[in-house]
Structure 1
């Protein structure tokens, strides 16, 4: 499993709308692709301007198979909905490692 980790700065008065628009625009689009496994949105109780999204993908290839034109179009739609109320601060890629569990006892 692959993890796409994104950290945003959002105007504090727009945080809830950011979360709603992210779901309505980005999540709706990504969910149409077979590699999409799910998405979590984290809000920081100590910093109302910070929002982190964690997107789970089945594989890196499936994640990267989304056409660039689709991503550009969705970003334009989201940008139009939100204006200049947010900024992507950081983008990371992680891989999930799973190990066989040993039975204790």
Structure 2
């Protein structure tokens, strides 16, 4: 399994709007691709201006098959809906989950 880890900065009053629109726009878009396993939204009471998205993929190959043009199109749609609520991505990371047997 591969984890796509994204952290955004947004004003605290706009945080719930970001989360709602992400769920309405990005999540259905990603869910149509093979290998998408799910997504979590993490918020911290200590950092009300940050949102972390954890997106789980079956494999890196499946995740990276999404065309850049399609990603740009959906990001434009999301950004248009968020135009009165500025946000920025401040970190993007990728992790692999490794499990070893105990035998």
Between structure 1 and structure 2, the one with the greater Rg is 1
TM-score (norm: length of structure 1): 0.93
Residue 26 of structure 2 corresponds to: 26
Q: Where does residue 95 of structure 2 map in the other structure?
A: 94
Deviation at 1:101, TM superposition (A): 4.1
| CA distance, structure 2, for counterparts of residue 30 and residue 53 of structure 1 | 13
Task: Flag structure 1 segments of 5+ consecutive residues without an equivalent.
Answer: none
Q: Is the partner of 1:78 in helix, strand or coil?
A: helix
TM-score, L = length of structure 2: 0.95
SS in 2 for 1:43: strand
1:67 Cα offset (Å):
1.0
Q: How many Å separate the matches in 2 of 1:4 and 1:64?
A: 11
Instruction: Give the total of aligned pairs.
Output: 102
Alignment partners' CA distance in 2, 1:14 and 1:46: 16
Structure 2 runs not aligned, ≥5 long: none
1:101 and 1:23 map into 2 onto residues whose CA distance is: 38
String of CA shifts for 1:20-40, please: whole Å, max 9, x gaps. 001111111000001100000
Tell me what 1:38 maps to: 38
Partner Cα distance (1:50, 1:18) in 2: 11
State the secondary structure of the residue aligned to 1:74.
helix
Measured in 1, the distance between the counterparts of 2:21 and 2:32 equals 17
Q: What secondary structure sits across from 1:7 in the alignment?
A: strand
Question: After the TM superposition, which parts of structure 1 deviate over 2 Å for at least 4 consecutive aligned residues?
Answer: none
